């Protein structure tokens, strides 16, 4: 029987399809620290966990084609045989939790042995060290399983090779929608062999030490809004102060630098809560007031970062969008069914946890888009009588028309927000100015903190 870490042709071909589609799911795909990825195992990739399948695919997307990475996944996903067979093909093995039944916890010994075997065979594991998935952008307490596996594998391998844990920070522009950015931030390897002398003497102390080191590394790779009491406030303050912090850091306004600015804001917010609780409580009140007033005005946070355009400028933009409306309509027509089918199926499945939305949309979309593109192309050429060899040109047209249509849609939404911004300033100047003053107070607290 083949090993789970083998790389059959079917898996290699599937990866050739999955990785490019995954990258195109995002508007910007950015990888940092790729030089920190070893060219061979034994390696344990340890990403933060915000977005189900998409987190694992982030790891797969940055590894070489001949790299085999086996992931641990929730055992309840393996209940149906057909699903279990597919998950094994995708190189997932089950990890049992208390909620899966106490009687099943013993099965983790088999999973544990498989993980060690993967590392012994010079391959890679993917383990989410936070254990579970949450939507808050912070590093949660790390579970011990990843370290048990790492130490056990290092003991078996001995001094021949060093097991390395690779921390990976994943930042997504939106956890629920496509067409946003993804930043995959690869940290410096943590060499497990360096902890072995202490592990031999005191396993608990060594485990705590390596766990703290991994946690600290992950916190430096992501936006870490590490608060239990003020998370909504921290999220608001991070968005409100983003551009101002960018300017203070003297960085150009782009996706990556905005991420760096948000990281700096996050560090300051955590320090404010820790060192000046009264200031944190004041900030929380300001953020709450700002969100309430912003909702009343029906304005996006980004509206406050830009000055409203003059009427002439808005008119020109509106005229340009109107001229391009046929491009939008063609793209919408050719992409309506492939685009909305994943959403329709997800709603039919009655999936409630928003953290699964993107994974389902992507997972269904890798099938719905090629199927509908091919069917639409066949129908088009059946009724038009054009030469059938042109079908291979028509399918790319379907894809790119969808990209253009989505880009125009985003520009249209920005245009509407600008118009609304101008109307609000004109019709509700008192409420707008009060909201703007609260926003500036939030920024002052953030920028003037150490």
pLDDT in tens, 263-285: 999 999 999 999 999 999 999 99
Instruction: Reply yes or no on whether the pLDDT at 103 is more than 60.
Output: no
Residue 158: predicted pLDDT: 84
Considering 198, 217, 236, which residue would you say is the last residue of a domain?
217
Residue 102: predicted pLDDT: 59
Residues 403/262, Cβ–Cβ less than 8 Å: no
* Domain count of the fold of the chain: 2
Eight-class DSSP state of 308: P
Distance CA(243)–CA(224), nearest Å, equals 18
Range of the domain at 426: 224-450
pTM score, whole prediction: 0.92
Q: Which of 173, 350, 192 is nearest to 259 (CA)?
A: 173
Instruction: Reply yes or no on whether the pLDDT at 78 is more than 90.
Output: no
Question: Could you tell me the CATH number of the domain that includes residue 100?
Answer: 3.40.1130.10
Q: How confident is the model at residue 100 (pLDDT cuts 50, 70, 90)?
A: low
Is position 200 within any domain? Answer: yes
Distance CA(283)–CA(276), nearest Å, equals 11
More confident residue, 151 or 102: 151
Residues 429 and 444 in one domain: yes
Residues 213 and 264 in one domain: no
Question: For 63-121, where are the alpha helices, taking DSSP H only?
Answer: 81-89, 108-120
Is position 4 within any domain? Answer: no
Distance CA(275)–CA(14), nearest Å, equals 51
Residues 238 and 147 in one domain: no
Residue 39: predicted pLDDT: 81
Kindly give the pairing relationship between strand 181-186 and strand 28-32: parallel
Residues 208 and 233 in one domain: no
Q: How confident is the model at residue 126 (pLDDT cuts 50, 70, 90)?
A: very high
Residues 136 and 204 in one domain: yes
Residues 247 and 330 in one domain: yes
Q: What is the phi/psi pair of residue 169, to 5°?
A: -100, 130
Q: Which of 170, 190, 253 is nearest to 43 (CA)?
A: 190
Residue 246: predicted pLDDT: 96
Is position 277 within any domain? Answer: yes
Give me the half-sphere count of Cα atoms (radius 13 Å) on the Cβ side of residue 235. Answer: 13
Is position 3 within any domain? Answer: no
Residue 385: predicted pLDDT: 74
Instruction: Reply yes or no on whether the pLDDT at 3 is more than 90.
Output: no
Residues 294 and 318 in one domain: yes
Contacts of 235 (CB under 8 A, 6+ apart): 137, 225
pLDDT digits (tens, 9 = 90+) for 48-60: 999 888 999 999 9
Is position 344 within any domain? Answer: yes
Q: Which of 258, 228, 254, 256 is nearest to 241 (CA)?
A: 258
Considering 217, 233, 257, which residue would you say is the last residue of a domain?
217
Among 295-304, 322-331, 347-356, which is the least confidently predicted range?
347-356
Is position 397 within any domain? Answer: yes
Instruction: Reply yes or no on whether the pLDDT at 98 is more than 90.
Output: no
Q: Which helix (H) or strand (E) holds 27?
A: none
pLDDT digits (tens, 9 = 90+) for 352-367: 888 888 989 999 999 9
Distance CA(401)–CA(331), nearest Å, equals 4
Peptide bond into 325 cis (omega under 30): no
What's the angle, vertex CA 226, arms to CA 220 and CA 231, rounded to 5? 135
Kindly give the pairing relationship between strand 164-172 and strand 190-191: antiparallel
Instruction: Reply yes or no on whether the pLDDT at 147 is more than 60.
Output: yes
Residues 189 and 278 in one domain: no
Instruction: Reply yes or no on whether the pLDDT at 22 is more than 70.
Output: yes
Residue 411: predicted pLDDT: 92
Residue 261: predicted pLDDT: 97
Q: Count the helices and strands in the chain (H runs, E runs).
A: 16, 8
Inter-helix orientation angle 429-447/255-275, to 10°: 80
Is position 96 within any domain? Answer: yes
Distance CA(297)–CA(431), nearest Å, equals 8
pLDDT digits (tens, 9 = 90+) for 395-405: 899 999 999 99
More confident residue, 75 or 64: 64
Residues 146 and 268 in one domain: no
Is position 2 within any domain? Answer: no
Query: Which single residue is written with the structure tokens 């306004």?
Result: 253
Q: Summarize the confidence of residues 86-105 as an average pLDDT.
A: 72
Q: How confident is the model at residue 101 (pLDDT cuts 50, 70, 90)?
A: low
Kindly give the pairing relationship between strand 124-126 and strand 92-95: unpaired
What's the angle, vertex CA 278, arms to CA 272 and CA 281, rounded to 5? 80
**Torsion, Cα of 292, 298, 300, 304 (10° steps):** -80
At 239, list the tokens. 């968005």
Residue 131: predicted pLDDT: 81
Residues 209 and 315 in one domain: no
Residue 4: predicted pLDDT: 86
User: CB pairs under 8 A, 24+ apart, for 128-133?
Assistant: 128/46, 128/47, 128/48, 128/49, 128/55, 128/72, 129/46, 129/214, 129/218, 130/48, 130/49, 131/49, 132/49, 133/49, 133/50, 133/51, 133/52, 133/55, 133/355
Residue 365: predicted pLDDT: 94
In DSSP terms, which residues pair with 73 in a beta bridge? 94
Residues 205 and 231 in one domain: no
Q: Which of 438, 446, 447, 135 is nearest to 280 (CA)?
A: 446
Residues 402/257, Cβ–Cβ less than 8 Å: no
Q: What is the mean pLDDT of the chain?
A: 90
Residues 135 and 284 in one domain: no
Considering 217, 245, 262, which residue would you say is the last residue of a domain?
217
């Amino acid at each position: 029987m083949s090993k789970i870490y083998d790389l059959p042709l079917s898996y290699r071909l599937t990866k050739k399809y999955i990785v490019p589609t995954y990258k195109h799911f995002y508007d910007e795909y950015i990888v940092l620290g790729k030089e920190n990825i070893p060219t061979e195992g034994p390696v344990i990739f340890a990403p933060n966990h915000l977005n189900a399948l998409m987190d694992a695919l982030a790891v797969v997307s940055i590894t070489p084609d001949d790299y085999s990475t086996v992931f641990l996944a929730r055992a309840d996903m393996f209940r149906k045989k057909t699903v279990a067979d597919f998950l094994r093909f995708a190189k997932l093995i089950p990890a049992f939790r208390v909620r899966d039944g106490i009687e099943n916890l013993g099965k983790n010994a088999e999973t544990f042995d498989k993980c060690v075997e993967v590392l012994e065979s010079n391959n890679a594991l993917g383990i989410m060290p936070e254990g579970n998935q949450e939507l808050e952008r912070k590093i949660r307490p790390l579970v011990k399983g990843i370290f048990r596996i790492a130490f056990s594998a290092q003991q078996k391998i001995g001094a021949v090779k060093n097991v390395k844990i690779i921390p990976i920070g994943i930042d997504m522009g939106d956890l629920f929608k496509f067409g946003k950015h993804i930043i995959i931030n690869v940290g410096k390897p943590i060499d497990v062999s360096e902890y072995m002398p202490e592990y031999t003497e005191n396993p608990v102390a060594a485990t705590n030490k390596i766990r703290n080191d991994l946690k600290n590394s992950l916190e430096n790779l992501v936006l870490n809004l590490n608060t239990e009491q003020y998370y909504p406030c921290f999220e608001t303050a991070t968005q409100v102060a983003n551009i101002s912090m960018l300017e203070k850091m003297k960085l150009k306004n782009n996706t990556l630098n905005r991420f760096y600015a948000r990281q700096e804001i996050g560090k300051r917010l955590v320090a404010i809560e820790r060192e000046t609780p009264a200031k944190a409580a004041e900030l929380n009140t300001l953020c709450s007031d700002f969100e309430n007033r912003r909702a009343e005005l029906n304005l996006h946070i980004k509206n406050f970062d830009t000055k409203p355009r003059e009427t002439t400028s808005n008119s020109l933009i509106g005229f340009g969008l109107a001229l391009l409306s046929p491009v939008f309509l063609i793209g919408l027509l050719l992409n309506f069914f492939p685009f909305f089918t994943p959403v329709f199926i997800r709603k039919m499945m009655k999936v409630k946890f928003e953290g699964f939305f993107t994974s389902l949309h992507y997972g269904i979309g890798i099938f719905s888009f090629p199927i509908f593109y091919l069917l639409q192309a066949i129908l088009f050429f059946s009724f038009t009588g054009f030469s059938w060899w042109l079908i291979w040109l028509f399918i790319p047209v379907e894809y790119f028309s969808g990209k253009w249509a989505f880009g125009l849609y985003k520009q249209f939404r920005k245009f509407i927000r600008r118009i609304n911004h101008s109307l609000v300033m004109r019709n509700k100047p008192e409420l707008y100015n009060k909201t703007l003053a609260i926003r500036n107070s939030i920024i002052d607290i953030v920028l003037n903190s150490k």
